[in-house]
């Protein structure tokens, strides 16, 4: 866990209405520093095309509000010594929660994108009141352990498995989360947590997490395949989530014809059960399973035609740089899938269509929880105007 000194969150960047916000031009600079790390004023002028005096006008208020720090001048050759600007991690933080059919994960994310705490545990009771109480206990324990000032909490992002029905933050989750189905989750969870809440589905927020801390640091366009009890994903276009009209872009399972095997981890659990190895839920299976068990080979053989179709459709229609395999998929399985996926891409005149590269996610923490934590920070400081359906800010 990364330690941050208690009480170091300056309140100076709060607006009179109490909301932490950044202007459109400030967001450009903050986003560049978030993605690229520390940079000089000259670097920012070159990257944005703005004149140096314009960069200074933007930077000074961010320094005054405690969002940026500037290093001491460094002599690196002839000319005026340069300084470097960087985000102040302790300026603000957010919480991310990922609600799955059998487990719940949480991360604390600071302003500089550092994961300061991460924790996952079985979902003790799927009913929304005890589940939200469990989540609040996890949040409170993590914030207390870091010693962070709760006044610096920007908001809480929550990723829930399921798809939006087109009515606010109401999701249609799998059967095991019946208690969460078709409810105004943004309002219910904001009341339970006593703080602003952003809601999105797990595939979308996992893609956001990968964009912020994973392959998205090098690739601005990619599709993310989310493996859990179900199968879905998200799309990142030019560094931002492509959510679609109803918030359901990335529901890749819908590509598959009726009767085709769904490439999800519940299918793997069923395969283990059929072979005599019974796991009570996915959380336990992922902790204990043997990647070399014959049930794993049988599962891979069954799902590869489905994944070939999904990946081929993504590559042909979205044309991303990468297709990232993630969610709760263990590295031992994602690496085997990477080697086996075959895209439909016939040759013509000696050439094939440039195709997406298939890669495994690089995130060690739960990508959905990381992405959920990014939602409040993006809404306030980094993101564009197109925010998730369940934004209660």
The answer to whether residue 6 scores a pLDDT higher than 70 is no
11 falls in which pLDDT band (50, 70, 90)? very low
61 Cβ contact partners less than 8 Å away, ≥ 6 residues apart: 26
Q: Quote the pLDDT of residue 9.
A: 29
- What HEC string does the chain produce? CCCCCCCCCCHHHCCCCCCCCCCHHHHHHHHHHHHHCCECHHHHHHHHCCCHHHHHHHHHHHHHCCCEEECCCECCCCCCCECCEEECHHHCEEEEEEECCCEEEEEEEECCCCEEEEEEEECCCCCHHHHHHHHHHHHHHHHHHHCCCHHHEEEEEEEECCEECCCCCCEECCHHHHHHCCCCHHHHHHHHHCCCEEEEEHHHHHHHHHHHHCHHHCCCCEEEEEECCCEEEEEEECCEECCCCCCCCCCHHHHCCCCCCCCCHHHHHHHHHHCCCCCCCHHHHHHHCCCCCHHHHHHHHHHHHHHHHHHHHHHHHCCCCEEEEEECCCHHHHHHHHHHCCCCCCCECCECCCCCEEEECCCCCCHHHHHHHHHHHHHHHHCCCCCCCCCCC
Low-confidence winner among 116-120, 213-217, 307-311 (lowest mean pLDDT): 213-217
Would you say domain 21-88 falls under CATH 1.10.10.10?
Answer: yes
Q: Quote the pLDDT of residue 128.
A: 93
Taking the CB of residue 214, how many other CB atoms lie within 10 A of it?
26
Region of residue 121 (left: phi > 0; alpha: psi -120 to 50; beta: else): beta
Homologous superfamily of 91-208+367-382 in CATH? ATPase, nucleotide binding domain (3.30.420.40)
Instruction: Compute the mean pLDDT over every residue in the chain, rounded to the nearest whole number.
Output: 88
What residue has token string 């992405």? 371
Task: Please give the CATH number for the structural domain made up of 218-360.
Answer: 3.30.420.40
314 falls in which pLDDT band (50, 70, 90)? very high
Q: Quote the pLDDT of residue 383.
A: 66
Low-confidence winner among 153-162, 212-221, 275-284 (lowest mean pLDDT): 212-221
Are the C-beta atoms of residues 92 and 9 closer than 8 Å to each other? yes
Question: Do 91-208+367-382 and 218-360 have matching folds?
Answer: yes
Query: How many whole angstroms separate alpha carbon 316 and alpha carbon 309?
Result: 11
320 Cβ contact partners less than 8 Å away, ≥ 6 residues apart: 219, 221, 222, 223, 235, 236, 314, 356
The answer to whether residue 323 scores a pLDDT higher than 70 is yes
* Mean pLDDT, residues 332-349: 94
362 falls in which pLDDT band (50, 70, 90)? confident
Can you give the residue ranges of every domain in the chain? Answer: 21-88, 91-208+367-382, 218-360
What residue has token string 């690089």? 362
The answer to whether residue 206 scores a pLDDT higher than 70 is yes
Distances in whole angstroms, Cα of residue 88 to Cα of each of 55, 85, 91, 92, 170: 18, 9, 5, 8, 35
């Amino acid at each position: 866990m990364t330690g941050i000194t208690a009480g170091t969150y300056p309140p100076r960047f709060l607006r009179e209405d109490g909301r932490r916000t950044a202007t459109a031009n400030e967001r450009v600079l903050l986003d560049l520093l978030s993605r690229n790390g520390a940079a000089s004023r000259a670097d920012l002028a070159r990257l944005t095309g703005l004149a140096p005096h314009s960069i200074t006008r933007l930077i000074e208020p961010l320094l005054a509000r405690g969002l940026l720090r500037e290093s001491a001048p460094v002599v690196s050759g002839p000319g005026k010594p340069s300084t470097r600007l960087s985000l102040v991690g302790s300026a603000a933080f957010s919480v991310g929660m990922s609600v799955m059919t059998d487990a719940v994960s949480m991360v604390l994310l600071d302003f500089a994108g550092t994961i300061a705490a991460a924790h996952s545990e079985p979902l003790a009771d799927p009913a929304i009141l005890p589940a939200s109480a469990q989540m609040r206990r996890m949040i409170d324990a993590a914030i207390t352990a870091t010693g962070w000032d709760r006044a610096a909490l920007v908001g809480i992002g929550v990723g829930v498995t399921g798809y939006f029905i087109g009515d606010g933050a109401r999701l249609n989750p799998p059967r095991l989360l019946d208690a969460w189905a078709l409810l105004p989750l943004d309002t219910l969870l904001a009341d339970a947590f006593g703080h602003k809440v952003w809601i999105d589905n797990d595939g979308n927020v996992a893609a956001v997490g990968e964009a912020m801390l994973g392959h998205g640091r090098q690739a601005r366009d990619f599709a993310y395949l989310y493996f859990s009890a179900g199968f879905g994903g998200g799309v990142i276009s030019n560094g931002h989530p492509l959510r679609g009209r109803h918030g359901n872009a990335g529901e890749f399972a819908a590509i598959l014809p009726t009767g085709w095997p769904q490439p999800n981890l519940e299918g793997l659990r069923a395969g283990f059960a059929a072979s005599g190895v019974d796991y009570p839920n996915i959380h336990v299976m992922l902790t204990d399973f043997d990647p070399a068990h014959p049930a794993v080979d049988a599962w891979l053989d069954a799902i590869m035609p489905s994944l070939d179709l999904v990946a081929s459709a993504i590559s042909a229609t979205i044309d991303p740089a990468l297709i990232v395999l993630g969610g709760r998929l263990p590295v031992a399985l994602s690496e085997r899938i990477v080697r086996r996926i075959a895209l439909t891409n016939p040759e013509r005149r000696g050439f094939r269509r440039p195709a997406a590269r298939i890669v495994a996610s690089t995130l060690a923490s739960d990508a959905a929880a990381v992405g959920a934590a990014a939602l409040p920070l993006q809404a306030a400081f980094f993101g564009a105007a197109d925010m998730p359906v369940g934004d209660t800010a």
